[in-house]
Every structure is written in C-alpha cells, then in structure tokens.
Amino acid sequence: MDQEVKVLIVGAGPVGLMLAYLLRRQGIACRIIDKLISRQGYCKALGIQPRSLELWDDVGLLNPIINEGLCFKETRVFQNGQEVHSSLIELPELPFGFLSIPQFKLEDILVNELQEQGVVIEQGIELLSFEQNEQAVHAVLHNNKTNTEEKIHLSYLVGCDGAHSITRKLLNLSFEGGKLPQHFMLADVQVNWELPHQTNYRFNYNDGDFENTVVFVPYRGDRRFRISTTVPEHLLAKIKDGKPTLAQFNEVLKKAVPVALTLDDLRWSSMYQISHRIVNLYASGRVFLAGDAAHIHPPVGGQGLNTGIQDVYNLAWKLALVLKKRAKPELLNSYHEERHPVGMDVVNRTHERMVAKDLGTSDAHYALLVNSQTLINYRNSSLSKGELQDKSCQAGDRAPDVAMLKRDISNFTLRLFELLRGPKFKLLIYADSSMVNNELETCEKLRESLAVLADSYLIAPRDFSLSENSSLTLLSDLDDNFKKIYQAKSGSVYLIRPDNYIAYQSDRLDELGLLDYLKRVGLQ
C-alpha cells in the first residue's frame, strides 16, 4: 500500500472517520486531524437510515454497527395528551430497517477499525491555512498540545470539520441560509416510564399560550433516550452554560407528556438554535467539503449524519480512482454536481417541515421512503448514461438489491448486494436463451476490457448454461427477481458504480457504446 499521504481529512467526526476508512479500503494513504485534544462522548446524532446500513454492509462495517445499535419498531404521535397516530417503522421492500446508534458509539467503531489499519487519529491538530495550485495543496497545521506548526504537501484536502468549518472559511465560500428564532435543548438520559423502548415518541402540545413538541428517540441501553424540545422563553435566562438540568427538562415535559415518568442519569445536555444553510460549492480546486461543513439543517427525519456519510461515499471512490491514475481529475467535478442538489433538497425539506410544524401524521410509508435516502438519485449527473427513461431502474438510480441469485459452485443463494461489495465497478449483463454466440463473445470482450475497473457477471434464468471454456461468471436468477426488478431483457447491460448507483444502463449489448461512455466520463 502506498504510504505517501495523499489526502488530508480535517475533522474526526463520523463523516471524516468514514472518509478515512473508505480511502484506506481503496489503498489510499491519508491523515485525519481534529482540533479537539480528546474525543467527546456525546449522543448528538443517532438516527441511521437504511441507505447508510446498505453502505456499511458494502464496506464490511454492518455487523459491529448493528451490534451496538437499536432497531426502531414504531412511531407514536400524541397531541395534547391524546394519541393521534401510530405506525410501524418498516419498509419490507428494502434490505434493512431503521437503526439508532449514538454518534460516539459509531465513532468508536470507526476509530477502532482505522487503528487496526494503522491510521492514527491526530487529536489536537488544527488547520491554520492552505494554498493550492494545479498540482498540490500546501497546508499549515498547528499542534494545540505542543504549540508548534507543521507544513505539509498533499494531493487533496477534505473539510469534514462541521458547521463552523475552518476549511470552508479559508475557501471564502458562502454558507447560505438562516437560523430559526427558537432555542432547543437536548438531553441524553434514562427515562423511567411504562412505555416500550424501541419506539420513537413525539408529544405535541399547544395550550394557546405555548406550543411545543417533545421528541424521544431511544438507543441501546437501560431505558436510554435522547430527548429534544423547545425551550420556553422563561427558561432561557435560567439555563447556565448552555446545559439544561434534569429539573428544567422535567418542567417542560410535565405539560407535554401524558404519562408518569422520571428522568435519571443525565450524561449530556445542550441548548442550541437550529440553522438551515448550504455552501455554494462543495469543491474548489483540490479542496472538498462534506457533512456539516457543507450543509446544516433541522434534525427532522434524522437526515444530517446520514447525508454526510453519503457525501463521502460519493467522493471516496472518485478520489481513489484519480489518485491511482485510473480516472481523469475531471471525474471529481461530479462530486459537487451530484451532492449539492441532494444537500439542497435535505436543507429545504427539513426546514419546511420544521416551520410547518409537521405533526408526523401524513403518508407514513412515503415519508419513511424519503427518510430512508434510497430514493436519492443522480439521473441528471454527467456520469449517468441511460437509453430508456421509462425503466424503474434508470442510470443514476440506486441499484436495488435482488434475492435468490446462485453460483454453480454454491449450494446456497446470495443477494445482489453481496456481489456489489468491494471498491470496484460491477458490470451486470442479462442473458436468456435468445443470446447467440457472437453476443456471448462480446460479453467476454467487455469482461476483459474492463477487468481492471470492474468485476463482470452474466445473469440468466436457471436453465441457462455456458460452454465449458467460457471465462464468464454466471449467476442464475432462480426466481426471475433480477429480470423483474431491473426490467431486464437479453442483452441488457448495467454498470454499477462503487457507491452502488447505476452509472450506465442499456438494453443493447453495445461494446463500443459502453467503452465510449467510459472514455467520455474520464474512466481510463
């Protein structure tokens, strides 16, 4: 593995740590720094969406995260003491459900994984300044422990340094948006009551003089919840150092929550205001922004941490291919092109729901799908090339999972997502009995031409067979699930990106068309 540091990651929160993990997985050496002397064990973000679980399944982190997480089962909504809505939190059409895991637990898992790979999380190191040209980034770091400075030279710099990002400020980029007038408070506490634990609770209250919402989100532990609520005006001056007390939380909760409860073991609390902002550029030259450094918004629907994770999932494979000289640097232009619209949508949607005081009682299934982040697509990206726009799976869409695929060598079936794991592209070609020999020869040529970039698979009905001297890897579509979900016919081609989005889709086995596409988007 190349030990020359290519990328500096500023900020060792979950987004920065995830980027470091993804780059090391691709064989790219990086440094990750954080200005704090030590890590903080706070339960800030904790809601994990199905799309993030798909990502962690892809990169080998799913089991430790699920082991530390809690599966959400239900949402219950109350209005002035009366239950007005309840719904199960489930999307059976997706591989995974919804999970809660405290931010510090997620960071622990990522830190442990990085340390096993020899990556040191450099706490107490701060970015002071940087300059960049067409060849490199030249940065100055300050060690807050030794009060010394260091000059380093890198290929790229990524700011994952939060809402007050020094990286963004040094780039002189705008952070457009505003701030809600209300103050809110959070608490990580033990809640003693008779209500079930694996449930999200939302208590809306309006007595004509004061309107409030209290949200309880559970996580693994003895009746542990993160509670969020609006701060009444009369409490603002009484909260010292921005840290509400148990007594102050109890005062707010007693009006809104219609069941008897006591709060214990306050591990952390905070008072804050909610902003809704997005940076005008996710990238400037060789410097990129991700996570809260690029977008901040109300915590409606648990989108923030997940959006940041998806930012770096999009960026990491592109950086790796460029640094390995398997793609032209212009590939990196697609990061802003693809992720800025997603950030805009999240910021606008969460702000609208917050201002509208959405009671959470609208179309529950669709709301879950939106929150799951599996509907996000890059159909308008310059990297997406598809011939048919009436397909349910179009170029730019998330590649759906498929069950009941089987290799000849295996006695057990597998999921498509198991094949998509790994840092390479995947070329999927569908065939049936109508595919003739010269088309199979084209499949073999494509497999050989793309061998460095992609793993190739031929997917076909259970009665399809290849000649003994074929070099193709055959997967049997036992129940025709792939054919149905992807609306495939013989000769259909799907090139799946390393972040498991469909890059190229065609119903014609067109070797030159695919190779021309790869050349056009800078994949060498």
Instruction: Compute CA 363 distance to the chain's CA centroid, rounded to the nearest angstrom.
Output: 24
Q: Give the C-alpha separation, 36 to 161, whole Å.
A: 11
pLDDT of residue 180: 85
Angle ∠(496,502,505) on CA atoms, nearest 5: 100
Instruction: Compute CA 261 distance to the chain's CA centroid, rounded to the nearest angstrom.
Output: 35
Q: Give the C-alpha separation, 241 to 60, whole Å.
A: 41
CB 185 within 8 A of CB 228: yes
Q: DSSP letter for 400, please.
A: P
Q: For 52, what's the count of Cα atoms within 13 Å in the CB-facing half-sphere?
A: 27
CB 375 within 8 A of CB 93: no
Identity of residue 319: L
- CA-nearest of 397, 404, 393 to 481 is 404
Using DSSP, state whether 59 is helix, strand or coil: helix
Q: Give the C-alpha separation, 14 to 20, whole Å.
A: 10
pLDDT tens per residue across span 113-130: 999 999 999 999 999 999
Instruction: Compute CA 456 distance to the chain's CA centroid, rounded to the nearest angstrom.
Output: 26
- Count the Cβ atoms, other than its own, within 10 Å of residue 168: 24
* Cβ neighbourhood burial of 368 (10 Å; 0-12, 13-18, 19+): buried
Structure tokens, 28: 């790219």
pLDDT-derived band of residue 4, with 50, 70 and 90 as boundaries? Answer: confident
pLDDT tens per residue across span 289-326: 999 999 998 877 778 899 999 999 999 999 999 999 99
Is the pLDDT assigned to residue 415 strictly greater than 70? yes
Per-residue CA distances from 184 to 25, 228, 262, 269, 326 (Å): 39, 7, 20, 11, 48
Q: Give the C-alpha separation, 444 to 37, whole Å.
A: 55
Is the pLDDT assigned to residue 356 strictly greater than 70? no
Is the pLDDT assigned to residue 388 strictly greater than 80? no
Q: Give the C-alpha separation, 513 to 498, whole Å.
A: 20
SS3 of 239-250: CHHHCCCHHHHH
Percentage of the chain modeled with pLDDT above 90 = 79
- CA-nearest of 425, 334, 383, 398 to 26 is 425
Residues in contact with 156: Cβ distance below 8 Å, sequence separation at least 6, in sequence order: 6, 7, 8, 137, 286, 287, 288, 319, 323
Structure tokens, 456: 């190739």
Is the pLDDT assigned to residue 158 strictly greater than 70? yes
Q: Give the C-alpha separation, 449 to 425, whole Å.
A: 13
pLDDT, greater one: 299 or 100: 100
Residue labelled with tokens 């092109």: 337
Q: Give the C-alpha separation, 524 to 520, whole Å.
A: 9
Structure tokens, 377: 């697509």
- CA-nearest of 137, 204, 206 to 171 is 137
Per-residue CA distances from 428 to 36, 54, 255 (Å): 46, 19, 57
Q: Give the C-alpha separation, 117 to 416, whole Å.
A: 28
pLDDT, greater one: 234 or 500: 500
pLDDT tens per residue across span 192-247: 999 999 999 999 988 877 788 999 999 998 899 999 999 988 889 899 888 999 99
End-to-end CA distance of the chain, in Å? 21
Mean pLDDT of the chain, nearest integer: 92
Structure tokens, 458: 């031929």
The residue extents of the domains of the chain are: 7-68+100-177+276-372, 179-275, 385-520
pLDDT of residue 357: 60
Average pLDDT over residues 438-461: 95
CB 218 within 8 A of CB 197: yes
Comparing 275-284, 307-316, 351-360, 465-474, which segment has the lowest mean pLDDT? Answer: 351-360
- Beta bridge partners, 426, equal 455, 496
Instruction: Please state the length of the chain.
Output: 524
- For 120, left (φ over 0), alpha (ψ -120 to 50), or beta? beta
pLDDT tens per residue across span 508-522: 999 999 999 999 999
The architecture that CATH gives domain 385-520 is 3-Layer(aba) Sandwich (3.40)
CATH number of this structure's domain 7-68+100-177+276-372, picked from the four choices 3.50.50.60, 3.40.50.720, 3.30.2020.10, 2.40.50.140:
3.50.50.60
Q: What are phi and psi of 104, to 5 degrees?
A: -70, -30
CATH fold of the domain at 179-275: D-Amino Acid Oxidase; Chain A, domain 2 (3.30.9)
Is the pLDDT assigned to residue 358 strictly greater than 70? no
Beta-strand ranges (E) seen in 327-453 are 385-386, 405-407, 425-430
- CA-nearest of 446, 466, 427, 426 to 510 is 446
Structure tokens, 339: 């992720």
